[in-house]
Structure 1
Amino acid sequence: MLKLSGVLPALVTPFDRTGAIDFVAFGRHLDSLRAAGVSGWVPCGSSGEYNLLTDAERDSVLTFVRDQARPGELLIAGTNAPSTAGVIANTRRARELGYHAVLLAVPFYTRPTQAEIIHHFETVASATDMDIVLYSYPGKDGVEIGYEALDALADNPRIIAIKESSGVLQRAIGISTRYAGRIQLVSGSDDIAWDFMQWGADAWICGPANCMARPVCEMDAAFRRGDHARAKEIMQVVWPAMNVLESGKFVQKLKYGCELQGNPVGDCRMPFGPLTDAEKAEFAAAMQPILAWA
């Protein structure tokens, strides 16, 4: 089984003033994250506005990140689509490009039953022979990848992990204990990431890493070397900013956080709207300890 570990940023997609993908800014962004200590890349997820990209743009993003990656850096592609056939096509393309795994939520706009979820992921795994990281985010998708589905999928050799983004710690505990050695728990609830680590999450697919990579990577490193107290201290520093992120306009705030770091990546595409002055001020205040990180 492919082992997932470290901080894997759920990458934003930079845009220029015309709304086109800004690959110069993208390369600069990847360089800054690599310098902070990330262990790989997760392009074309929800933080990357994948649903607002054309097929050609998604392909160009996956190709660019693949070309920028260095040996040893893990590549996980977001290959979601509204239909199973679309997911299969996107996943096959990611495999052609050399990605190690894909990150898949349930198909959006469908709210499938647990039986439909099982059939969907089994079909994708069989048709693509690609390692799959499930992505359970009921707040966004309207349905949870529940224990009924996980019980059925846990022994599929291509279902290797689940990014758990419900924000409910009991789910992380349940997954960690129920599927130990079968499905890897990946932190996807950023404001309780330290708690996930305590329950065995060795990897963190992390949207906030776009604008606070140094502290989150230091937190991960501290926990790995057994300094759980230091990891908790860092969590306490970054938690206020993460809490503001979780309060709404998540992607807009990630991009504004990059701007605050001196690494502008442009605005979001519509229908995402801009941050208000009050929202900017709130997030900037929460980011101050992170901007001052030594």
Structure 2
Amino acid sequence: MNFHGILVPIVTPFHDNLSLNISGLAKLTEKLIDSGVTGLVVCGTTGEYYALNEEERKTVLMTVSKVAKGRVTLIAGINDLSTEGAINRAEQAKQLGYEGLMLSPPPYSLPDQQGVFAHYQKVASSTSLPIIMYNFPARIGIEIEYDTVVKLAEIDNIVAIKESSGDFSRALRLLQTSFENFEVICGCDDQPVDFFFWGARSWIAGSGNVFPVEQVAIYEASVQEDWGKAKQIMNEIYPAIYSMESGNYNQKAKAGCFKSAFKVGPVRLPLTNISDSERDEFLSLITIEGK
């Protein structure tokens, strides 16, 4: 599974009546592929996985797979409140042709580190697919602590961690750890140049729905060690990314899809749509001069 480069947790388009927009999802998948991204994460947080029923979830996974299979890397988000639920979602992803999985600790239950380890160990033992762990304590309520990451990295099909804590000191410690066949992925949209400078080779970015071309260019500049160019592009998109990271992330990812040129509709409850004034203020940040 190649996950080096930009992987976009794709938004799920809805019609105004909140039904799935399947044709819109297929077109968005095609546009992201054309933008040069390495892969797509389907049914992730940015895709509002928690607001999909099981039939809709299957439809979303199948739609993206039909368009993208064999063209980019396909990763399925398999978060669930229970370990057994995550195992079932891993099996579904494999049956639908996905190459990898992304998994956080279970939300709400607040497991201790022994429970976190056992959760990942059991899911990993149930599937042959590679797993990217997802550390996002602001959403999940607990952290995958450093020592737990080190232990889990020894499991063959746990291959990476998406680090979204926002704590770059923690990220740097992980990046400087001598793992075998395990990588640290940037999961903070305001820190990719820092991650790439210290050796990360992947960025999983919900803001990739807004700036896929620019984010691919940042990655390519980093590969060439052209840090001046990487910083320049990051400076251009940073105001919008800062706005997203400051609140209403999913709503802004949808409002700004392809710099607002591609319409993907509203969000579903429990999220509510941003006001017209907040939307206009955000959209004023995503027009890059000369582009």
TM range (shorter): over 0.9
2:285 maps to what in 1? 286
Provide, for residues 156-193 of structure 1, a one-character-per-residue CA deviation record: whole Å limited to 9, x for no partner.
Answer: 00110000001111121111112433421111001111
1:229 CA drift (Å):
1.3
Aligned residues of 2:13 and 2:20 also touching (Cα < 8 A): yes
Aligned residues of 1:79 and 1:91 also touching (Cα < 8 A): yes
Tell me if 1:147 matches 2:146. Answer: yes
2:96 maps to what in 1? 97
User: How far, CA to CA, are the matches of 1:70 and 1:52 in structure 2?
Assistant: 24
**Alignment-mate amino acid for residue 87 of structure 2:** I
1:191 maps to what in 2? 190
User: How far, CA to CA, are the matches of 1:3 and 1:36 in structure 2?
Assistant: 17
Equivalent residue runs for 1:116-265 within 5 Å: 116-258=115-257, 260-265=259-264
Using the size of structure 1 for normalisation, the TM-score is 0.95
Tell me if 1:40 matches 2:24. Answer: no
**Alignment-mate amino acid for residue 93 of structure 1:** Q
User: How far, CA to CA, are the matches of 2:290 and 2:162 in structure 1?
Assistant: 28
Q: Which has the higher helix share?
A: 1
Across the aligned residues of Structure 1 and Structure 2, the Cα RMSD in angstroms comes to 1.4
1:19 CA drift (Å):
1.1
Aligned residues of 2:153 and 2:182 also touching (Cα < 8 A): yes
1:70 CA drift (Å):
4.5
Name the SS for the 2:162 alignment partner: strand
Q: Which runs of 5+ in 1 are unaligned?
A: none
Tell me if 1:274 matches 2:273. Answer: yes
Name the SS for the 2:210 alignment partner: helix
Aligned residues of 1:14 and 1:21 also touching (Cα < 8 A): yes
Q: Single out whichever of 19-28 and 176-185 deviates more from structure 2.
A: 176-185
User: How far, CA to CA, are the matches of 2:13 and 2:290 in structure 1?
Assistant: 24
Change (3 A) 1:129 1:81: same
Aligned residues of 1:9 and 1:38 also touching (Cα < 8 A): yes
Q: Which runs of 5+ in 2 are unaligned?
A: none
User: How far, CA to CA, are the matches of 1:259 and 1:9 in structure 2?
Assistant: 12
Aligned residues of 2:13 and 2:22 also touching (Cα < 8 A): yes
Tell me if 1:113 matches 2:112. Answer: yes
1:281 CA drift (Å):
2.6
Corresponding pairs, count:
291
Tell me if 1:68 matches 2:67. Answer: yes
1:240 CA drift (Å):
0.8
Change (3 A) 1:213 1:293: farther
Provide, for residues 20-68 of structure 1, a one-character-per-residue CA deviation record: whole Å limited to 9, x for no partner.
Answer: 1101111221222122111111110000000110111111111111111
Name the SS for the 2:280 alignment partner: helix
Provide, for residues 209-262 of structure 1, a one-character-per-residue CA deviation record: whole Å limited to 9, x for no partner.
Answer: 101111111111111122221011111111111000011110001111027532
1:10 maps to what in 2? 9
User: How far, CA to CA, are the matches of 1:8 and 1:17 in structure 2?
Assistant: 27
Name the SS for the 2:46 alignment partner: helix
Q: Single out whichever of 91-100 and 172-181 deviates more from structure 2.
A: 172-181
1:111 CA drift (Å):
1.1
Aligned residues of 1:211 and 1:258 also touching (Cα < 8 A): yes
Equivalent residue runs for 1:23-38 within 5 Å: 23-38=22-37
**Alignment-mate amino acid for residue 178 of structure 1:** T
User: How far, CA to CA, are the matches of 1:178 and 1:220 in structure 2?
Assistant: 22
User: How far, CA to CA, are the matches of 1:3 and 1:39 in structure 2?
Assistant: 8
User: How far, CA to CA, are the matches of 2:170 and 2:198 in structure 1?
Assistant: 11
Using the size of structure 2 for normalisation, the TM-score is 0.96
1:110 CA drift (Å):
1.0
Aligned residues of 1:172 and 1:199 also touching (Cα < 8 A): no
Aligned residues of 1:76 and 1:102 also touching (Cα < 8 A): yes
The percent of aligned pairs where both chains have the same amino acid is: 35
1:71 CA drift (Å):
2.3
